[in-house]
Amino acid sequence: MKKLLLASGSSRRKELLDQIGVQYQSASMDIDESVQVSEAPSDYVLRMAIEKAQAGIEAKPDMVVLAADTSVVVAGNILGKPDNAQVAHEMLRHLSGKTHQVLTAIAVATHIQGKVSIASQVVVTDVSFSVLTDQQIEQYINTTEPMDKAGAYGIQGKAALFVERIQGSYSNVVGLPLAETGKILQRFDIPVWRD
């Protein structure tokens, strides 16, 4: 049985895999994450996940590699991780009172009969925010939670107060859609629910 490599350093993705009892090793993949000109958000996250999976399988050819990429999208625009407090404020202002999409692409790669085989999927969740005041935004930014998160918020953290409703996978918004990930991993003989 092959072992699983999580091609990510994300603590949130590790916690989600732990939640469903998947055993894995993890390593971050260093790839260019620039958005290409006129690239649709769904194409971008899928390309990123596949490139991370390919980098992982090159580094660990004897393993099954799971990679993922998550983007927050509002009005067709990808909101990445904020560089500073001002950018975080602008992102949260864009999300205030609106429904946005969280897109996560997952890609699983392995060698089958000497060739790399990759299975991939994009999962979309709609997230509706309440109207945020400037004071709320500033108080949230002061917690420092937004600074390492796509769209400048973490649904599993303090920003849960901003979320009026979601439609779709909650774990997708955290960073890894578990139902879809579990199905793909089982196709590659990676077991779940192990102690």
Q: Which two tokens stand for residue 189?
A: 């003989």
What are the φ/ψ torsions at residue 26 (nearest 5 degrees)? -135, 150
As annotated, the active-site residues are 69
